[in-house]
């Protein structure tokens, strides 16, 4: 009998309930989308930050000799740790060289690793994609202007008694120290400087939250006790700040959406309560207990909330994918743990918005039977 009456209630007030269902579905869709974005935001944002350069640096201890790091030992030991958070590790060897009478800093590195952690560099010309390419180089914007170089130019570099001839593949603008350097193959610079198997430092790009980055840095420090392992705190702090602000924004947006949805349900239920005064009066006149009548209306609101939550979750998945494409360039993957959260929130909103129906318990059967 309870379910039959509940079904009749849905059929008797389709217009009002449809308005409430639309309000709940709309709110649930936005909440579902934001929750999916929030759960995926850490991964997406840290991936975006990994294109902005290294966030961990391994350098010789203070007071150590120049070019103190052994390429074969340091890089091999980093690789041996098999840390999945490490996106790229680029060794660098810096050498003072001359191009004619002009001094310049020559940096030897692995271009394939540099490209993975610095895809934001502005490049005029082409990139050097192979770490084994000994014939080409990238020239910083300031160094190119000082030496009069352009893509395709040839540059002769000398360090001590050794010389090397390179072809400029591209001109890079980074806004950093690289603008004043010439970057080329690591082995070429080691041969030019006569320090085979040596590098000045290693820059590492680590994927993860600031806490995870610190954890990786501690593991590296434990594996390389004689070296100075430090995080680039500006980047790590920026990641934590942005993630915190995004999560705060999502929380307050969800709260606002839920309040607005509740107001929409409240308006619909207030009108519905006026329509049902006669029905409640007849139920009470026939001996219906107020708690049982209220359970009937609350079950109606709860069912409406569950239905709105399910529909809103499905719409929210599509909305989340659209947000991911617009912001991150890749779709946000749906998280099905968001479904029970969305349903619980919409049921809570529906029950809170159904407050006017609870006032029907005060209806006097005598007044209804007299037609008042």
Q: Identify the pLDDT of residue 66.
A: 47
pLDDT of residue 160: 82
Residue 56's beta-bridge partner residues?
204, 231
Q: What percent of the chain has pLDDT over 70?
A: 72
What is the average pLDDT across 232-249? 68
Neighbours of 86 (CB within 10 A): 18
* Cα three-residue angle 127-46-132, rounded to 5 degrees: 25
Summarize pLDDT for 32-72 with one digit per residue, the tens: 888 887 777 666 666 565 556 688 898 887 654 444 556 66
- Percent of the chain predicted with pLDDT > 90: 17
Tell me, what's the pLDDT at 277?
61
**Burial of residue 122 (number of CB atoms within 10 Å: 0-12, 13-18, 19+):** exposed
Q: The tokens 């079904």 sit on which residue?
A: 7
The arithmetic mean of pLDDT across residues 293-300, rounded, is 71
Average pLDDT (189-193) is: 89
Residue given tokens 């059967």 in the structure block: 365
Residue ranges covered by each domain of the chain: 2-47+240-369, 56-231
How high is the pLDDT of residue 2? Answer: 47
Can you give the three-state secondary structure of the chain, one letter per residue?
A: CHHHHHHHHHHHCHHHHHHHHHHHHHHHHHHHHHHHHHHHHHHHHHHHHCCCCCCEEEECCCCCCCCCEEHHHHHHHHHHHCCCCEEEEEEEEEEEEEECCEEEEEEEECHHHHHHHCCCCEEEECCCCCCCCCCEEEEEHHHHHHHCCCCCCEEEEEECCEEEEEEEEEEEECCCHHHHEEEEEHHHHHHHHCCCCEECEEEEEECCCHHHHHHHHHHHHHHCCCCEEEECHHHHHHHHHHHHHHHHHHHHHHHHHHHHHHHHHHHHHHHHHHHCHHHHHHHHHCCCCHHHHHHHHHHHHHHHHHHHHHHHHHHHHHHHHHHHHHHCCCCCCCCCCHHHHHHHHHHHHHHHHCHHHHHHHHCCHHHHHCCC
Contact 30, 258 (CB under 8 A): no
The pLDDT-based confidence of 289 (bands split at 50, 70, 90) is low
Residue 151 main-chain phi, psi, to 5 deg: -55, 130
pLDDT digits (tens, 9 = 90+) for 81-97: 888 888 889 999 999 99
pLDDT score recorded for residue 182: 94
């Amino acid at each position: 009998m309870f379910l039959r009456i509940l079904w009749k209630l849905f059929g008797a007030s389709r217009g009002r309930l449809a308005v409430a269902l639309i309000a709940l579905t709309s709110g649930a869709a936005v909440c579902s989308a934001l929750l999916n974005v929030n759960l995926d935001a850490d991964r997406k944002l840290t991936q975006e930050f990994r294109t902005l350069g290294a966030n961990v640096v391994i350098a010789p201890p203070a007071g150590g000799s120049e070019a103190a790091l052994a390429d074969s030992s340091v890089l091999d030991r980093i690789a041996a740790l098999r840390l999945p958070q490490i996106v790229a590790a680029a060794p660098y060897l810096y050498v003072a060289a001359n191009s004619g009478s002009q001094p310049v800093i020559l940096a030897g590195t692995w271009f394939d690793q540099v490209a993975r952690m610095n895809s934001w560099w502005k490049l005029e010309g082409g990139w050097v994609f192979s770490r084994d390419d000994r014939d080409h180089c990238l020239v910083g914007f300031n160094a190119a202007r000082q030496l009069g170089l352009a893509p395709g130019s040839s540059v002769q570099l000398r360090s001590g008694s050794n010389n090397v001839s390179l072809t400029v593949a591209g001109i890079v603008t980074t806004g950093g120290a690289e603008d004043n350097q010439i970057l080329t193959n690591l082995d070429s610079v080691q041969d030019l400087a006569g320090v085979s198997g040596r590098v000045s430092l290693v820059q590492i790009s680590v994927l993860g939250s600031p806490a995870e980055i610190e954890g990786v840095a501690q593991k590296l420090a434990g594996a390389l006790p004689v070296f100075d392992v430090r995080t680039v705190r500006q980047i790590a702090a920026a990641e934590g700040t942005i993630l915190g602000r995004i999560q705060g924004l999502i929380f307050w947006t969800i709260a606002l959406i839920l309040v607005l949805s509740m107001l929409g349900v409240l308006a619909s239920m207030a009108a519905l309560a006026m329509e049902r005064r006669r029905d409640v009066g007849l139920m009470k006149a026939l001996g219906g207990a107020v708690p049982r009548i209220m359970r009937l209306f609350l079950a109606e609101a709860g069912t409406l909330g569950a239905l709105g939550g399910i529909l809103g979750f499905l719409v929210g998945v599509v909305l989340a994918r659209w947000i991911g494409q617009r912001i991150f360039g890749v779709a946000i993957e749906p998280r099905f743990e968001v479904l029970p959260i969305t349903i619980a929130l919409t049921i809570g909103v529906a029950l809170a918005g159904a407050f006017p129906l609870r006032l029907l318990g005060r209806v006097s059967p005598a007044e209804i039977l007299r037609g008042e």
